[in-house]
Chains A and B, each alone.
Chain A
Amino acid sequence: MTLYLNGLSVRYGQRPVLTDLCLPPVAAGSVVGLLGANGAGKSTLLRALAGLQSATGTATLDGQSLLTSTHHEAVGYLPQSLPQGSPLLAYEAVLSTLRATRPDLSRRAAEQRIETVFDRLGLRDLALRTMAQLSGGQRQMVGLAQVLVRQPRLLLLDEPTSALDLRWQLAVLQTVRSLTVDHGCLALIAIHDINLAARFCDRLLILGDGTVIADGPPASALTPATLSDAYAVSARVERCSLGTPIVLADSALPL
């Protein structure tokens, strides 16, 4: 399975948000981190690939366009913001997603999938609570369960760790990492924590003003120059004892 982007552009009215974006083929099993300042186009790119935002250019998954036809079965998208709590149980939020999109599954098969995804994300204790009783981070986890239960091949996750504490941030990224390895799927994750991205992603796509500033493995994509271009900060890139790059931001540069 391969994801390929070429000349992808998105406009909001007259304002270009993504301009001529290119991404050389990304192979199955990869986790790609989308980095960039607020408004760089990360969420727009994910929404365009999820079919929620009209775009021009080429975006293909296994040679099939993601822009012109509906590939909902293959794509799993987690939005940046989810609704405030409702009286819906976490279990039935996941169940309804599966039932609405896969009516062909038997009840037993559906229940099996739901149990698996709740176990995989460590959400078993929350399953029979209402969404209103959950914290923002827990709701985000249930949102992720709704995505994963459909077993998509391409995961598009918009800041999946933004409302989570450190333990759950690691748990989510470890889960995504293991899913890509175990099931050969592919993940694009918009994320603000550069060090988490460096730790869990095979490849980083750093966006600035809707164009690509850097693209490559964390060790080559993260440099003081690319960080300065993307975030307008003065930063050092060092190595931890495991060899993973660590970004130390020193100061904000004048805009």
Chain B
Amino acid sequence: MTAFSLAAGYRRRILGRIVLLTALAGAVAAAMLLDVATGPSGVRLTDLLQADTEPALAIILWDIRLPQAVMAVLVGAALALAGAEMQTTLNNALASPFTLGLTNAATLGAALGIVFDLSLPGIPSLWTIPLNAFAAAVAATLLVNALARSQGAGADTIVLFGIAMVFVMNALLWLIQYVASADAVQQIVFWTMGSLNRATWEKDALVALALAICLPLSLRQAWAMTTLRSGEDHARSFGIPVARLRLVVLLRVSLLAAAAVSFVGTIGFIGLVGPHLARLLIGEDHRFYLPGAALAGALVMSLASTASKSIVPGLVLPVGIVTALVGIPLFMTLLLSQRRRG
């Protein structure tokens, strides 16, 4: 073999991954177009091209379908990126914002905001619920992290406290629903179902902002996270501050989970499936895995959004229900076929 032949072989693999990422981005764009073309009003894509001259079509395109389609992509990317980072730093393939109680905490924060009308002076009402959700998710993260640190800050301990957090947050949510007014309970139920119906450009911008903050920061730690896949002791002995990395990741995940949950409610499945799809397709070099997970999550969520408008003609099902009912069997089939192939 010639000198640097390993590096040359590796660069060919990298090229393959860049092609895959580009294909995934193309698939997301196509899925988004399909999402925009689908809706309960039955207006087709060709009709929407006339939106410049028809005010009703312009409203359907610019105020309903496009913001929802963009929100599906953004929320899918945010949840999958959060799941990918959690799975790596907690060394647990089942970790996601949903399984560790962060989504539940954000939902609780949103519920508290709804029931007690926790608005802050000078803060626009659009920000009130997301801020409550974010504050609750961060508080839950810090609590889980502090409890885990008291026991040695191991990944398994964090997972254990995270699962306990799911039950505590659910119990508190039920308590709030028990004492809340019927109107507030109805609003809270919206959060727990997961729906893209209330998407607006402003809300899209907020989720995009969370992603724009988190993704570059994640990529800056890509090498450290990739090294962590070689084992925590190994990584620590190389000088990687694993406990600090874990805390920073959990804070980023709180922001992503809160941004997503605030506007579309609880969608548990994407944070799990996005990372798994990316791992199957791209591997675990986090320079490619993290954007790959975000794109895979965006793709699945966008397809789920289309499905939610197509399963029952004329009716839009909450997307959280669709991701679970349609996505999970597909995901299980994919995983099992991968396992059979070896």
Contacts and interface: CB of A to CB of B under 8 A. Distances in A.
Interface of A: 47, 50-52, 70, 72-73, 75-79, 81-83, 86-89, 91-93, 95-97, 99-101, 103, 111-112, 114-115, 118, 124, 127-128, 130, 143, 146, 150, 156
A89 B10 contact: yes
A143 B234 CA distance: 8
Contacts, number: 110
Contact of A128 (B10, B91, B224): B10
B89 to A, nearest CB: 14
23 contacts: A50-B237, A52-B237, A76-B237, A79-B231, A83-B231, A87-B284, A88-B229, A88-B283, A88-B285, A89-B10, A91-B10, A93-B229, A97-B230, A99-B223, A100-B238, A100-B240, A103-B223, A124-B6, A127-B6, A128-B6, A128-B9, A143-B234, A150-B238
Interface string B59-98: 0000000000000000000000000000000010000000
A91 B6 contact: yes
Contacts of B231: 79, 81-83, 143
B336 to A, nearest CB: 17
B16 to A, nearest CB: 11
Contacts of A114: 6-7
Given A70-B239, A91-B10, A100-B223, 11 more contacts: A47-B233, A75-B237, A79-B233, A87-B280, A93-B227, A103-B223, A115-B3, A124-B1, A128-B9, A130-B283, A146-B230
Interface of B: 1, 3-7, 9-10, 13, 91, 223-224, 226-227, 229-231, 233-240, 279-280, 283-285
Contacts of B285: 88-89, 92, 96
A8 to B, nearest CB: 18
A77 B223 contact: no
A100 B226 contact: yes
Interface on chain A toward B: helix, strand, loop, or mixed SS? mixed
A100 B7 CA distance: 18
B233 A92 contact: no
Interface on chain B toward A: helix, strand, loop, or mixed SS? helix
Contacts of A146: 230, 234, 238
Contact of B6 (A73, A75, A76, A115): A115
Given A50-B237, A77-B237, A115-B6, A96 B283 contact: no
Contacts of A89: 10, 13, 283, 285
A47 B224 CA distance: 20
A83 B230 contact: yes
Contact of A115 (B7, B237, B239): B7
Contact of B230 (A50, A82, A115): A82
A156 B233 CA distance: 13
Contacts of A96: 223, 226-227, 229-230, 285
A52 B243 CA distance: 12
A83 B229 CA distance: 8
Contacts of B284: 86-88
B6 A52 contact: no
Contacts of B230: 82-83, 88, 93, 96-97, 143, 146
Given A77-B233, A97-B230, A124-B1, A87 B6 contact: no
Contacts of B237: 50-52, 72, 75-77, 79, 156
Given A82-B230, A88-B226, A88-B229, A115 B4 contact: yes
Contacts of A115: 3-7
